[in-house]
């Protein structure tokens, strides 16, 4: 017999359960631990005969090999669970798409947030997140310049660096950094003392808005007096248990507290822009899926980038806030692509739209449903054409080699607003509409 591998475990388990229960399985929850070992839990009344329980457990144990936690532990009744609610009401319990009445809880070391429900439907104040799979796509520059645009529109914005170096590096020179930064605030938050006074010391006004009617403040990852930066960084993702609420809280919960504290300031900003850094990790998952923010997914038209987005979307399909039919509060309405550094030709734009649509198809509703099933569900899939105004429809940022050399710190060397507008086209007004209005769809461009 070939040793079972990670990839085959779930399918083998479902096959065996299918043989046992046929088309009408009991409500089944699969729990996969950090190593990939699997536990199957079903209601106590799923089978009456205890010999039957043992036989099924044995079969699963044999099939799963090293991925079985042992023949006595692989198949559990609900009454075997110490606190059944921890499993059955877990924020990480998601529908398993390929089987009926089956849920999966995946215990991960990182990236646990992607599938969880957002903590709030609306953030305490308008919030935008810049995310990208790869770095170097101009994400940080775009958000820094967007803040400038907003300041021109008399808006008061805070730019938050979720990891250094980010917007702070583009907007602040060394002498004008604040004393502290986000990591300092986060480690205080870790022990349950989110500190508004400290938050003020983490933010500084940016000279870019000096001549504008609005205001830009920057909250960098660390400040001039920040000590032990790396040590702090190693702590901020840690889930902590809050005895007073009886709940675990992680980076996402703490970032929400940050937004709440910003919203409570007497000089509260009109909007917060969060630069979430590149790649699939906890900062991304917390900011993209859990804050209720509008998310801008930056991508260049590159094969690797689309492949990675495809992987992310395949994962997000199982998210608790993603539902066939795409209801009002579906996660997908919050997301929208940004075509970064794209040549301003029709061909390049069309190609981007087409690629983006292909990638999003993994994450859009399927129409491969029988009409009767639709009738039973009483719903229709939310379908999009490539030309439609769905999340795949990007806002375009032109490729302009001058952008790389834009100096936003030295007021003498600052690019003219006209040069900025030339490169960024309609990105700023479009993004602003998305950020400030409740209408989540985007104009076709």
Partner 1 sequence: MNMIRSLLQFDANTFRQALINLPPTQAKETLDAPQLSEIYVPPKHGKALSPEYNIVVGMRGAGKSFWTAVLNDEKTHRFVADAARVQGLANIVVRVGFGLDPSDKDFPNRASIESLLSRNYRPDAIWQAVLLRHALIYLNRDLPFNTGWEAAVSWVETHSGEVDKYLAECDQALQEQGKVLLLFDSLDRLADDWKKIRGILSAALKLCLECRSRRAIRFKFFLRPDMVEENDDIWSFADSSKLLHAKPELEWRPNDLYGVIFLHLANSVIVGEEFRNILSQKTSVQWQIMDGAYLFPRNIDEELIRGIVEAITGPWMGASAKKGYTYTWIPVHLSDAKRRLSPRSILLAFKEAAEWTDANRPNHNLALHYEGVQQGVVKASEIRVRELKEDYPWVEPLLRALKGSAVPLTFDELREKWTEACVQESLDAASTNQRLPPRRYSNDPSPGRKLDSLVDDLVELAVLYRTEDKRYNMPDIFRVGFGIKRKGGVRPPR
426 binds partner 1 per the rule CB under 8 A: no
317 binds partner 1 (CB under 8 A): yes
Binding status of residue 307 toward partner 1 by CB under 8 A: no
At closest approach, how far in Å is the CB of 441 from partner 1? Answer: 4
Q: Which of 196, 294, 186, 315 is nearest to 249 (CA)?
A: 186
Question: Closest approach of Cβ 303 to partner 1, in Å?
Answer: 10
Q: How many CB atoms lie within 10 A of CB 85?
A: 8
Residue 383 binds partner 1 (CB under 8 A): yes
Report the residue from 185, 313, 406, 428 that binds partner 1 according to the rule CB under 8 A.
313
Q: How far is the CB of 163 from partner 1 (least distance, A)?
A: 30
- Residue 333 contacts partner 1 per CB under 8 A: yes
Q: Give, as ranges, the residues between 70 and 99 that touch partner 1 (CB under 8 A).
A: 95, 97, 99
Number of CB atoms found within 10 A of residue 236's CB: 22
Residue 365 binds to partner 1 (criterion: CB under 8 A): yes
User: According to the binding rule CB under 8 A, does residue 435 interact with partner 1?
Assistant: no
Under the binding rule (CB under 8 A), the answer on residue 344 touching partner 1 is no
**Using rule CB under 8 A, residue 367 touches partner 1:** yes
Closer residue to partner 1, CB minimum distance, 180 or 396: 396
Evaluate whether 435 touches 403 at the Cβ level (below 8 Å). Answer: no
Name the helix (H) or strand (E) containing 428. Answer: helix 427-436
Tell the smallest beta-carbon distance from residue 318 to partner 1 (Å). 9
Please say whether the beta carbons of 68 and 61 come within 8 A.
Answer: yes
> 293: phi > 0 → left, psi -120 to 50 → alpha, else beta; which?
beta
- Asked if 385 interacts with partner 1 (CB under 8 A), we say yes
245 binds partner 1 per the rule CB under 8 A: no
For 16, residues 6+ apart whose C-beta sits below 8 A from its C-beta are 56, 59, 60, 63
**Which residue of 93, 155, 355, 392 would you call a contact of partner 1, by CB under 8 A?**
355
Structure tokens at 4: 């079972």
Is 364 near partner 1 (CB under 8 A)? Answer: yes
Binding partner 1 (rule: CB under 8 A), the pick from 248, 325, 345, 413 is 325
Residue with Cβ nearer partner 1 (279 or 327): 327
**Contact call for residue 436 and partner 1 (CB under 8 A):** no
Q: Which of these ranges, 117-125, 169-177, 272-280, 316-324, lies near partner 1 under the rule CB under 8 A?
A: 316-324
Token readout for 166 is 């980010």
**370 CB contacts (<8 Å, ≥6 apart)?**
none
Q: Which residue has the tokens 């993603």?
A: 322
Q: Which is nearer to partner 1, 19 or 110 (CB)?
A: 19
Q: Does 222 bind partner 1 (CB under 8 A)?
A: no
Looking only at Cα atoms, what is the longest distance across the chain?
A: 82
Q: Please state, in angstroms and rounded to a whole number, the distance separating the CA atoms of residues 445 and 433.
A: 14
Separation CA 109–CA 118 (nearest Å):
20
Instruction: Write down the least CB distance from residue 307 to partner 1, Å.
Output: 11
Task: For residue 310, give the nearest of 275, 361, 353 by alpha carbon.
Answer: 361
**Distance between CA 384 and CA 393 in Å, rounded?**
10
The answer to whether the CB of 325 falls within 8 A of the CB of 365 is: yes
Measure the CA angle with vertex 287, ends 279 and 216; round to 5°: 105
- Closest among 392, 385, 390 to 310, alpha carbons compared: 392
What is the nearest approach in angstroms of partner 1 to the Cβ of residue 101? 7
Residue 333 · residue 391 · CB < 8 Å: yes
Is residue 388 involved in binding partner 1 (CB under 8 A)? Answer: yes
For residue 189, the minimal CB distance to partner 1 (Å) is 34
399 near partner 1 (CB under 8 A): no
Q: Which residues bind partner 1 (CB under 8 A)?
A: 95, 97, 99-101, 313-314, 317, 322-325, 328, 333, 351, 354-355, 358, 361-369, 373, 377, 379, 381-383, 385-389, 437-441, 443-444
């Amino acid at each position: 017999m070939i040793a079972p591998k990670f990839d085959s475990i779930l399918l083998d388990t479902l096959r065996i359960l299918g043989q046992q229960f046929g088309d009408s399985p009991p409500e089944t929850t699969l729990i996969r631990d950090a190593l990939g070992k699997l536990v199957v839990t079903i209601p106590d009344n799923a089978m009456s005969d205890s010999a039957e329980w043992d036989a099924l457990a044995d079969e699963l144990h044999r099939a799963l090999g090293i991925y079985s936690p042992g023949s006595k532990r692989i198949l559990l009744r609900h009454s075997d669970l110490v606190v059944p609610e921890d499993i059955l009401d877990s924020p990480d319990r998601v529908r398993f798409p390929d089987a009926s009445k089956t849920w999966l809880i995946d215990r991960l070391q990182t990236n646990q947030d992607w599938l969880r429900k957002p903590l709030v439907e609306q953030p305490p104040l308008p919030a935008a997140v810049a995310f990208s799979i790869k770095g170097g796509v101009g994400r940080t520059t775009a958000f820094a310049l967007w803040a400038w645009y907003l300041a021109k529109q008399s808006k008061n914005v805070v730019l938050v660096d979720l990891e250094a170096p980010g917007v702070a590096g583009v907007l602040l020179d060394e002498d004008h950094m604040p004393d502290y930064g986000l990591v300092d605030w986060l480690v205080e938050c870790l022990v349950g003392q989110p500190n508004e006074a400290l938050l003020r010391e983490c933010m500084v006004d940016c000279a870019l808005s000096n001549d504008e009617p609005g205001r830009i403040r920057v909250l960098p990852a660390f400040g001039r007096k920040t000590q032990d930066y790396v040590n702090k960084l190693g702590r901020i993702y840690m889930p902590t248990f809050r005895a007073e609420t009886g709940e675990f809280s992680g980076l996402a919960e703490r970032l929400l507290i940050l937004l709440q504290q910003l919203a409570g300031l007497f000089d509260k900003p009109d909007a917060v822009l969060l630069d979430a850094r590149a790649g699939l990790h906890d900062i991304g998952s917390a900011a993209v899926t859990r804050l209720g923010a509008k998310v801008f997914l930056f991508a260049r038209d590159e094969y690797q980038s689309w492949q990675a987005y495809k992987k992310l979307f395949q994962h997000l399909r199982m998210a608790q806030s993603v539902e066939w039919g795409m209801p009002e509060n579906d996660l997908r309405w919050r997301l929208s692509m940004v075509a970064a550094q794209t040549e301003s030709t029709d061909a390049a734009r069309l190609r981007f739209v087409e690629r983006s649509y292909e990638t999003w198809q993994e994450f859009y509703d399927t129409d491969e449903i029988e009409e009767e099933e639709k009738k039973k569900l009483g719903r229709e899939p939310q379908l999009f054409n490539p030309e439609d105004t769905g999340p795949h429809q990007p806002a375009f940022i032109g490729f302009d080699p001058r952008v790389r050399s834009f100096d936003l710190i030295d007021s003498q060397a600052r690019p003219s607003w006209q040069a900025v507008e030339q490169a960024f086209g309609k990105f700023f007004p479009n993004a602003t509409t998305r950020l400030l209005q409740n209408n989540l769809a985007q104009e076709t461009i």
